[in-house]
Structure 1
Amino acid sequence: MKFRAAVATVATLPLALGLAACGNNDKPEAGRDWGQMPAATPAATTTAEPLKQAPVVHLNRTTFVPAMTTALSKQKSWKIVGTMTADGTTVMSMKGVQTSKPAAMSMEMTGAAFGTGTAKILLVKGVLYVSIPGTTPAGKFVTVDSKQTGQLGELLDGGDPTKIYKSFDSSMASLKFVRTETIGGQKLDRYDVTVNTAKALAAQGKKVPAGVPKTLTYSLWMDKAHLVRRMSFALMGVSMVMTMSEYNKPVSITAPPASKLAR
């Protein structure tokens, strides 16, 4: 099962402020004899101009990738949760954690492709460890050569947002700020990023499969620090939604012990 995921950026939408001040009219006391003195002249009423809030500046094609890359470069780890659907039915769910320094990943996947079991993938020090129900011995991992990952590699790449981010720089065809939305209690800015599919795959070192459309649009939701919190896309009847959270939380990803390796 093949899929590719994408990413997004954010800036919060500030509230506009306005202030007004009014003077008072002074009136002479009723019933008092003022003689020849002229009547008091009403004080002029003044109204202050409303304070104008600086216009909100959203990311554009020039600033989008640098802002996203800079935000991610400050993160050491994050949690990933994803759901893949086809024709309205969930076909796969995934969850895991990823670290950037050192580069490592721990991912679990469930769905029709794995029966009633759970597939587990570990990437530690450049070595990929895989445990798939019905394929590897129960409870055991096998090591997989990075050049022979096939569809498993596609799944792994789809769960690694950093690889998607890097492809945007050369493949982006258009960028559109959609609106600010509240998701999970956070105000996030949604951007739609349309990429040239061939260029995006080329940036990831892949060929273009037959039947894939020329362009693909990712929806990305970003916080005020320009960290992607959610991303989604739809391709050839398959939809994917991923959330990224718990940035910079302590994470430990280790290789399986020798007793867990299939011989």
Structure 2
Amino acid sequence: MKLRFAMSTAAVLPLALGLAACGSGEPEATGYKPSMPTATPVVTTTAAPQKVAPAVHLNRVTFVPAMNTALTKQKSWRIAGTMTAGGATMMTIDGIQTAKPLAMSVTMSGAAFDGKTAKVVLVKGTGYASIPGATPAGKYITFEAGDSAELDQLLEGGDPTKIFKSFGGALKGVKFVRTETVGGQKLDRYDITVNTAKALAAQGKKVPAGVPATLTYSLWMDKSHLVRKISFDLAGVAMVITMSDYNKPVTITAPPASKIVR
């Protein structure tokens, strides 16, 4: 099975407010001079309505740098996702990842695994996979990058940073759509278009037959430039991913030796 994730980021820069004031006036003289001192004229000042400068959104030039800058500040995060095809749920994903040290633990379940659960763990450069039909229940095999294309795909599917790195020369367009409330948060939605061949080439892959020349992803970001949600639809397969719990402490460990079969 091949899983493809794409991430990006955007944000709204702080708003600038401008204020203006009106002048004041005094009553006209009537020509009558009373014996009592005249009252001091009252001067009033009325503030003009506040003017809000238009929000500044990321574009094709600023998009990737902002995305990468935000990510480098994160030590860990959680991902959750759902893959559907023909209106039916094919797979659900739940996982955690740390950047320093690089480690991840991803659980996948659903029809794609005949209703069972698969798990992939990466710790200190070594991968551990428990795949229904390929390993005994609850047991793991070990592997390293390059050992198996299928296992590499599983690892990459749970690691959005690999896709981030491929965006540099592949990004063709960035469009701000609108600000939406997602999960109680105000997020900015962007539609981004990438050159499929360039994005895959940056990941060391070739373009599979039938894949369009460009792909468009919808991404929702907070104002710190962190991706909170992403979705795309390719050849009838739809994917929705959320990212949360940035910088919360997590612990990822390798399976015990008693559960490793090779």
Same fold by TM-score, threshold 0.5 exceeded?
A: yes
TM-score tier (shorter): 0.7 to 0.9
Q: Which amino acid aligns with 1:8?
A: S
Structure 2 gaps, min length 5: none
Instruction: Give SS of 2:66's match.
Output: helix
Q: Is the 8 A contact 1:25 1:45 kept in 2?
A: no
SS of structure 1 residue aligned to 2:92? strand
CA drift of 1:44 comes to: 8.8
Runs of 4+ in 1 over 6 A off after TM superposition: 15-28, 42-46
1:208 and 2:204 aligned = no
Identical-pair percentage: 64
CA drift at 1:61: 1.2
1:100 aligns with 2:99: yes
Tell me the SS of whatever aligns to 2:218. Answer: strand
CA distance in 1, matches of 2:19, 2:114: 60
1:31 equivalent in structure 2: none
Question: Structure 2 vs 1, CA of residues 210 and 37 (structure 1 numbering), >3 Å: closer, same or farther?
Answer: same
Q: Could you tell me which residue of structure 2 aligns to residue 148 of structure 1?
A: 147
Partner of 2:189: 190
Corresponding position of 1:174: 173
Q: Is the Cα–Cα contact under 8 Å of residues 10 and 188 in structure 1 kept in the other structure? A: no
Q: What is the TM-score with the length of structure 1 in the denominator? A: 0.87
Task: Indicate the residue corresponding to 2:11 in structure 1.
Answer: 11
**1:46-195 maps to which residues of 2 (within 5 A)?**
47-195=46-194
Query: How far did residue 143 of structure 1 move?
Result: 1.0
> Cα distance, 1:37 vs. partner?
4.0
- Report the aligned-residue RMSD: 2.8
| Rounded Cα–Cα distance in structure 1 between residues aligned with 2:241 and 2:80 | 6
Q: Would you say the 8 A contact 2:120–2:128 is kept in 1?
A: yes
- Equivalent residues, number: 257
Which range is displaced more, 194-203 or 128-137? 128-137
Q: Which shifted more, 149-158 or 59-68?
A: 149-158
Distance of 1:77 and 1:115 partners within structure 2: 31
Matches within 5 A, 1:27-46: 36-37=32-33
* Structure 1: runs of 5+ lacking an equivalent: 29-33
SS in 2 for 1:201: helix
Residue by residue over 1:53-84, the C-alpha shift from the partner in whole angstroms, topping out at 9 and shown as x without a partner, is: 23211111111111110110011100000100
Highest relative contact order (Cα 8 Å, sep 6+), 1 or 2? 1
Q: Please state how far the C-alpha of 1:15 moved relative to its aligned partner.
A: 9.7
